[in-house]
Amino acid sequence: MSGISAIALEKLLARQKLPDFFGSEAVKPSYDGLGLANIASLAIEWLSPDAPTLSEEAAAPAFNPKLLATSEITQAWESWQNQAPINHVVLLILDGFGYEQLQTLADSKDAPTIAEACDRPQGFFMPATSVYPSTTVTALTSAATGYAPAQHGMMGTNLYMREIGTIVNFIGFRPQTASTNTPLPDTQFNPETLIRVPNIYLRMEKAGIDVEIINFYQFKHTSISRFTSAGSEAGNDNFKGYLTPSDAFAQLRERLLTKSSQQKSFTYLYVPTIDAVSHRYGPLSSSYKAEVAALDFALKKQLLEPLAGRNDTVLLLTADHGQRYNPLENTLWLEEHPELTQNLFAPITGESRIRYLHIKHNQQAAVVDYIKHNFSENFFTITPSEAMELGLFGIPGKPLSREAEDRIGDLLLISHKDWTCRQHITNEERYKGLLGIHAGLSRAEMLIPFLAYRF
């Protein structure tokens, strides 16, 4: 990897440092110019800076390496941007492909194409941060809107939804403990009206940009696709389904070859396979490396080689989050602590690495005291207002949206190191868990790659 990325890593980690009680590995998300939401805003800045905001609340500013205040990085970024006009942008999100994982795989020669692209003159490469929690539904909503979680309100996978009085799993869009995979009906809970801020697809469409989504064919019209692209043509007629990642890259190549400089375009392409393999086998496992190697080869053969020389077309390669190995024995099972759960009016929500506690009236002191005396070695608590002051969910000084405030409860239970917290609330046998996890603040989870590459 280039010297620029090494300098950027050092500067980014210093800039995004959290207080010591978070641990030495913790990284604060950036929403002011060095994070995932900013990458989404960068696409708009390049293609349609005058696109309508469609909201009274401004989206996050565009990604800006100059914030690292280092002359080498500033010069490299300006030089890269000035190479040629940008008419076509592809935002490629490789789910679960963190910056640290990419560095390891580049060193082991398992991702030679991506590693080479990072070092080429037509590439600019550095680390960026995910959002918090560093989990798919939260991160993909920021990538689709350009807003921080505090603004868009999608605060995790499992959230207590005041409007329907139940905990919803947002991967399946169903009650958390439902015995069926059937999503909630629109008449009860409509994905189209879930997110309070506009998506980037709709904003660019209204500015005259040719916008499309290339995604796994079974994801079309799923709830998460609907709430991240509500109102846009990209989520409907301009949604192009693929069968495999290689098929996705081939479709993208054919479509880019038909583009002209007269009509600017934006394409969103999402690949979930690295994350899926990592959950099952663990990050950097042999299966993980095999999947990355296959994607790396397909990227070379289907995109980088055939499109070489089209320098007005930019590939933004990034991830929603990274992954870390999950020692299954390091699990706190909350149902084993009835003295604590009796003070909660709902089961825990959020993620296994950050739990939202919904506490009965006047019982917060008792909950804090119990955690301090029983879990303090592996967990600590902060309040939602403290989380906002620290910049975990959005830029400090900006308020939580009403939706976000409702969904994160009264107290945040955050894990130290490699611990997770779970609560078994059904009569079924406990599910042991996944070997690869994310949603925490560690470097492995929070750091994502930012590669801007001109074909």
Residue 106 tokens read as 């580049």
pLDDT, average across residues 77-90: 97
Picking from 154, 200, 444, 196, the residue whose alpha carbon sits closest to that of residue 316 is: 200
Q: Identify whether the C-beta of residue 54 lies closer than 8 Å to the C-beta of residue 206.
A: yes
Report yes or no on 176 lying in a domain: no
Q: Verify that 88 and 162 share a domain, yes or no.
A: yes
Model confidence band, residue 1 (pLDDT cutoffs 50, 70, 90): low
Does residue 179 have a pLDDT over 90? no
Estimate the share of the chain in helix, then strand, then coil, as percent rounded to the nearest 5.
Answer: 35, 20, 45
Report yes or no on 172 lying in a domain: no
Report yes or no on 173 lying in a domain: no
Q: Verify that 311 and 383 share a domain, yes or no.
A: no
Q: Verify that 430 and 449 share a domain, yes or no.
A: no
Residue 103 tokens read as 């560095």
Model confidence band, residue 11 (pLDDT cutoffs 50, 70, 90): very high
Q: Verify that 18 and 69 share a domain, yes or no.
A: yes
Domains of the chain: total: 2
Q: Verify that 420 and 271 share a domain, yes or no.
A: no
The pLDDT mean for the chain works out to: 96
Q: Verify that 369 and 382 share a domain, yes or no.
A: yes
Alpha-carbon distance 144 to 9, whole Å? 25
Beta-carbon-side half-sphere exposure of residue 99 (alpha carbons within 13 Å): 25
Write the pLDDT tens digit of every residue in 186-206. Answer: 999 999 999 999 999 999 999
Residues with Cβ within 8 Å of 382's Cβ and at least 6 positions away in sequence, in order, are: 390, 411, 412, 414
Alpha-carbon distance 386 to 413, whole Å? 12
Alpha-carbon distance 298 to 227, whole Å? 30
Picking from 419, 439, 335, the residue whose alpha carbon sits closest to that of residue 375 is: 419
Report yes or no on 183 lying in a domain: no
Residue 127: is the preceding peptide bond cis (ω within 30°)? no
The helix or strand, by DSSP H or E, that contains position 395, with its residue range, turns out to be none
Contacts 24+ apart (CB under 8 A), 177-182: 177/425, 177/426
The pLDDT > 90 percentage for the chain reads 94
Model confidence band, residue 185 (pLDDT cutoffs 50, 70, 90): very high
Which amino acid is it at 22? Answer: F
Picking from 336, 266, 233, 319, the residue whose alpha carbon sits closest to that of residue 48 is: 266
Write the pLDDT tens digit of every residue in 90-103. Answer: 999 999 999 999 99
Write the pLDDT tens digit of every residue in 241-270. Answer: 999 999 999 999 999 999 998 999 999 999
Report yes or no on 171 lying in a domain: no
Write the pLDDT tens digit of every residue in 427-448. Answer: 888 888 899 999 999 999 999 9
Report yes or no on 36 lying in a domain: yes
Query: Where do runs of H (alpha helix) occur along 163-216?
Result: 200-206
Q: Verify that 133 and 223 share a domain, yes or no.
A: yes
Structural domain that includes position 412: 331-437
Query: Cα 187 vs. chain centroid, distance in angstroms?
Result: 29
Q: Verify that 251 and 277 share a domain, yes or no.
A: yes
Q: Verify that 31 and 58 share a domain, yes or no.
A: yes
Report yes or no on 181 lying in a domain: no
Per-residue DSSP letter, 191: G
Picking from 416, 408, 425, the residue whose alpha carbon sits closest to that of residue 356 is: 408
Residues with Cβ within 8 Å of 80's Cβ and at least 6 positions away in sequence, in order, are: 122, 123, 124, 452, 454
Residue 294 tokens read as 């296959």
Which pLDDT does position 344 carry in this prediction? 98
Report yes or no on 383 lying in a domain: yes
pLDDT, average across residues 11-27: 97
**The CATH number of the domain where 415 resides is what?**
3.30.1360.180
Q: Verify that 143 and 200 share a domain, yes or no.
A: yes
Alpha-carbon distance 171 to 137, whole Å? 7
Write the pLDDT tens digit of every residue in 298-333. Answer: 999 999 999 999 999 999 999 999 999 999 999 999
Sign of the torsion angle spanned by Cα atoms 375, 376, 380, 383: positive
Q: Verify that 414 and 391 share a domain, yes or no.
A: yes
Residue 67 tokens read as 């914030």
**The CATH number of the domain where 314 resides is what?**
3.40.720.10
Alpha-carbon distance 297 to 281, whole Å? 21
Q: Which residues in 272-369 belong to E strands, given as ranges?
A: 313-318, 324-325, 331-333, 349-351, 354-357
Alpha-carbon distance 250 to 244, whole Å? 10
Q: CB burial class (10 A; 0-12, 13-18, 19+) of residue 185?
A: exposed
Candidate from 139-143, 265-269, 283-287, 397-401 with smallest mean pLDDT: 397-401
Number of helical (H) and strand (E) elements in the chain, helices listed first: 17, 18
Does residue 2 have a pLDDT over 80? no
Residues with Cβ within 8 Å of 167's Cβ and at least 6 positions away in sequence, in order, are: 158, 159, 160, 161, 175, 176, 177, 346, 347, 349
Which pLDDT does position 284 carry in this prediction? 97
Alpha-carbon distance 16 to 19, whole Å? 10
Write the pLDDT tens digit of every residue in 360-403. Answer: 999 999 999 999 999 999 999 999 999 999 999 999 988 899 99
First to last CA, the chain: 19
